[in-house]
A and B are shown apart, each in its own frame.
Chain A
Amino acid sequence: MSPEVAAADRKRQVQVAARGWHDAGAITEATRTQIEERFPDDRARLGPAFRTLAFLFTCVAVHSMFGVVMPALNCSHSLAEDLVAPLAIAFGVALVAATEMFVGPMRRADSGVEAASAWLAVSFLCGGLAWMAEKPFDSGFTGLFLIAAVVCAVAAYRWGFAFLALFAALAGFGLLARTPAGRLLWIAVPLLLAVPLLKGVDSARLSPSHRQCCQAVLLVSVVALYVAVHLGSFDHRFIETIVDWDEHSTSLPAWMRPLSILATALFPIALLALAVFSRRVTMMKVAILLGVASLVTLRFYVSVAPLWVVLLAAGTAALLVVLGVRRALASGVDRERGGFTALPLFEDREKREALEMMSAVASLSPGARTLPAGDDKLTPGGGRYGGGGASDTY
C-alpha cells in the first residue's frame, strides 16, 4: 500500500469517528467541520448505495467483456480450449493495472469500482493460474488453494481489502488441510499466528486497512482452531475430508477424543474470557456464536434434555444474561463498570437498526398463506406461524 493511500486511510478514520461523535450529539457541526478541515480526505468516495451499484456494474461489465472476447478467440472450441487460462490471466493482469490506477492516480476509495476490479483481478488470476497448473500437476484442489492463498494475500497487502485477506486465510487453511498433518496444522498455525495478529489489529504502524486485514485473518484462524478441536469435526473427520471428499475413515489417535470433548466445551468460554479481558467486541460475538455451536453439539451427543427444553432454556438464559449484564453495567459509576458500558457509544444507529430489521424479517416472518389461484375468496387452512426455526403448520 502506498504511503499516500495509507495516509488517506488514517484521515478517513478520524473523519468517520468525528461523524459518529456528531451523530451522537457529542460535538457540534462546526467542530466536525473543523476536524474535517484538519484531517482532509483526498479520496473520491461514493456513498453505500452508489458504491453497491458501481460494484455490481463493474462486475457485469468485466464478466460480459470476458464473454465477448472468449468467443472472438474461439475459446470454446476444443483446439482453442487452452486459450481460456491465458485469457483469464491476461484479464487478471489488466484488472490489476486498472485497480492500481483507481487507487493511485484516480484516488478512488470506497467507490465500489476499485473493490470490484481488485476482486475480479484476483478471481481471474486464480482461475487462470489454477487451470494452467491443474493440467500438468493434477493436484486436486491443492494448486487452487495455494494460488488463491498467495494471490489474495499479495492483493490484500497491496490494496488493503479485508475481504481479500479473509479469502487468503480461507485458502491458506484449505491448503493446510491438504497436508498429511492437516488437523494438527489447523491447531498449530492459529496458535502461532494469534499473538502477531492481535498485535497487528492494534498496531499504530499498520494502516487501518491492514489492521482490518489482520482482524479478518484472526477471525478465520479462531474459527479454524475451533473446527480443528471440535468433537463433531473430529468424529466426522471434517478436515481430513478436505484432502479426499470420500475419505471418512482416517484414523486419529484415540487419546485425542477426550481432549476434543474438553476443547469443544471450553473453547468458547476461553475465547469469551479472552475477548472480555482484551476488550475485543467482535471476538465476543464470535465467542457467542461458537458457544451456541458447542451447545448444539452437546445436545447432539448427550440427551441432557429434550431439544425443546435445551432451546427454551438457552434462549431464556441468553435473554436473562442480557438483562443482567445491562443492569450491572448501568448501575456502575457513569453507567460503566471495568471500562464496559451498555450505552451505544457513537454507533451508527440507522445502520444497526436496518440490519436488525432485515434479520428479524428474514428469520421470524411467517410462511405465506396458500391462496387458491384466481379465487380471492379466502379459504381456511394454510399459513404458518413462528420463525427462527419455529415455523410449522398445525
Chain B
Amino acid sequence: MNPDVADAVVTLERQGVLSPEQARLFGRVARRELVSVHGELRFLAYTGVLLVMGGVGLLVKENLERLGPVTIASALALAAAVCFLWVVRHAAPFTRAAAAPAHLAFDYVLLLGALLAAADLAYVEVQFTPLGAAWVWHLLLVSAFYTILAFRYDSRVVFSLALSTFAAWRGVAAGQLGASLWGSLEGAGFIRANAAACGVLFVGLGLWLKKADWKAHFEPVAAHAGWLLVLAALVSGLGDQAQGYGFALFLVGAGLAAYALWARRFWLLAMGVLGAYVGVSALVLSTFDSADVAMWWFMITALMLLPALFLLHRLVKERA
C-alpha cells in the first residue's frame, strides 16, 4: 500500500490531470486493491528451473547404472521436447524487433528446455561419443543452439546464457579471472587473451545487431558482457604486470567512459570510470611502492572525483 500515491491520485483526478478511469486503476493499485503477482510468479518459475536442473544433475550422476544410459538420455530428450512443444504453442511469430512477451513463464520454460537439451547432448556425447574428436566443439554447438533459440523466441535471458556458454567454450569464467589477479591460475595469460577476445567479439556483435536492426534490444546484453570481459581481462593482468596492464586498463576505461558519455550509456560509463581509475591507480602505486602514498592517492583522487561526478551528472542527467 502506498498512501502517498493513493492520496495523490485523488488530488490529481480532482484537478483534472487524471481521467476517472486512470484514477480508478492507479488508486486500486496504490491502495493494494489490485496486486500484481507477475514478479513473484516469475521468481517461482526461476526457482522451479533451478530445482529441476539440480535434480537432473543428480539423476544423471546417481542413476546411471540402475536406469541405464538410454533411459536417461531418452528421459532428458523427452523433457526437453515437452518444454519446446509448450514454447512453440505459445510463441509469437518471429520478428526482427522486440516481440511482446508471449506468456509470463515463457522465458523460463524456454530456458529449461534449452538447459535440458544441452545436458542431454553432453550426456549422450559422454556415453555414446557421437561427436568423437569434435567433442571440443560441444560448448560452441550449445552456444549456437541457445543463440538460435534466443533470436527465434526473443529471449534476452537465453541470449545472455548463449554468450556465457561461448565464453566457457573459450575457457573463460568469471572466477578464473579473479584467481588470475592473485596469480593462482595456470595459463592465466592464455585465458586472459581469450577473455579479451570474447569481450571484443561480444561488443562487435552488439554493434552489428544494432546496425542491422536485428534484435537491436539484445545489444545492451552483448555490450555489457563484452566490456565486462575486456575490463576483467585487463584487471586480471595487474597481478602479473601492473605497469603494462594498468596503462592499457586506463586507456580502455577512459575510452569506454568517453564513448558511454557521448552515447549516454550510464552503466557503461560507470564501468569505464572504474576501469580507468583502477588502471591509473595501478600505475601510480606500482611506481611508488608505499602504503602512505597509496592512502594519500586514494583519498585525494576519490575526493576530486566526487564533485566531478556531480558536475558530469548535471551535464548528462541520468534518470534518477
Contact = CB atoms under 8 A, between A and B. Distances in A.
B160 interface: yes
A39 to B, nearest CB: 6
A386 to B, nearest CB: 5
Contact of A373 (B12, B160, B190): B190
B266 A356 contact: no
B99 interface: no
A180 interface: no
A50 B108 contact: no
Contact of B111 (A39, A329, A360): A360
Contacts of B68: none
B93 interface: no
Which of A60, A306, A315, A346 is packed against the most chain B CB atoms within 10 Å?
Answer: A315
Contact of A392 (B57, B190, B317): B57
B194 to A, nearest CB: 7
A190 to B, nearest CB: 21
A372 B142 CA distance: 21
B123 to A, nearest CB: 7
A71 B299 CA distance: 14
B274 A53 contact: yes
Interface string A57-78: 1101101110110010000000
Nearest to A390: B57
Contact of A64 (B34, B50, B103, B302): B302
A383 B46 contact: no
A341 interface: yes
Nearest to A389: B54
Q: For chain A, what secondary structure do more than half of its interface residues adopt (helix, strand, loop), or is it mixed?
A: helix
Interface string A106-121: 0000110100000000
B295 A341 contact: no
Given A38-B17, A53-B309, A13 B47 contact: no
B213 interface: no
Contacts of A339: 28, 32-35
Interface string B132-160: 01011111001000000000000011001
A109 B55 CA distance: 46
Contacts, number: 352
B182 to A, nearest CB: 17
A17 B59 contact: no
A366 B142 contact: yes
Nearest to A338: B35
Contacts of B172: 368
A150 interface: no
B104 interface: yes
A342 B41 contact: yes
B191 interface: yes
Given A113-B306, A379-B136, A369 B168 contact: yes
B173 interface: yes
A208 B4 contact: yes
Contacts of B54: 311, 315, 388-390
Contacts of B157: 353, 356-357, 360
A148 B156 CA distance: 42
B60 interface: yes
A204 B4 contact: yes
Interface in A308-331: 308-319, 321-323, 325-326, 329
Contacts of B221: 357
A383 B139 contact: yes
B187 A312 contact: no
Contacts of B267: 48-49
B59 A322 contact: no
B106 to A, nearest CB: 10
A380 B138 CA distance: 10
Interface stretch (B114-122, B201-209, B231-239, B243-251): B114-122
A336 B47 CA distance: 24
Contacts of B42: 322, 352, 356
9 contacts: A48-B266, A61-B298, A64-B302, A309-B55, A318-B45, A322-B45, A385-B142, A386-B53, A387-B53
